[in-house]
Structure 1
């Protein structure tokens, strides 16, 4: 039960951190005119590809973290509900 909470928080923070880091790198790569500066064409293609894949990984981490937190909340609700016993008449 607590494992899903810890995993959810870790994955959520990791996903948000990865998105922040990618967007920060993209922001600081821009010139005052708004154009991105790369040393060569190959580095431009490679960096953009890596950033695109990194963003998809970040989305997956965020979704997995939110699902883990949802599972934790469902487990917590089930544990708090008292069990209702029903007796069958024979």
Structure 2
């Protein structure tokens, strides 16, 4: 039960951190006119591809983290219901 809470928090923080880092890199790559600066066309294509893949990985981490937190809340609620039923029987 606690494992899903810990995993959910770790994956959520990792996903949000990855999104922040990617957006920060993109922001600081822009010049005064707002255009992104790359040293060559190949580096532009490669960096944009890696950032796009990283963005999808970050979305996956965030979704997995949220699902893990949801599972934890459901497990906690089920355990509370079981405890109440046991107390009613006694």
Fold in common (TM above 0.5): yes
Q: CA deviation at 1:83?
A: 2.3
Name the counterpart of 2:43: 43
Structure 2: distance between partners of 1:32 and 1:13: 32
Superposed CA offset, 1:7-61 (max 9, x none) = 0000000000000000000000000100000000000000000000000000000
Residue of 73, 82, 85 corresponding to 1:83: 85
1:18-37 pair list within 5 angstroms: 18-37=18-37
Q: TM-score when scaled to structure 1?
A: 0.92
Task: Give the structure with the higher percent helix.
Answer: 2
Aligned to 1:88: none
What RMSD in Å do the two structures reach over aligned CA positions? 1.4
Please, which runs of 5 or more residues in structure 1 have no aligned partner? 86-90
TM-score, normalisation: structure 2: 0.92
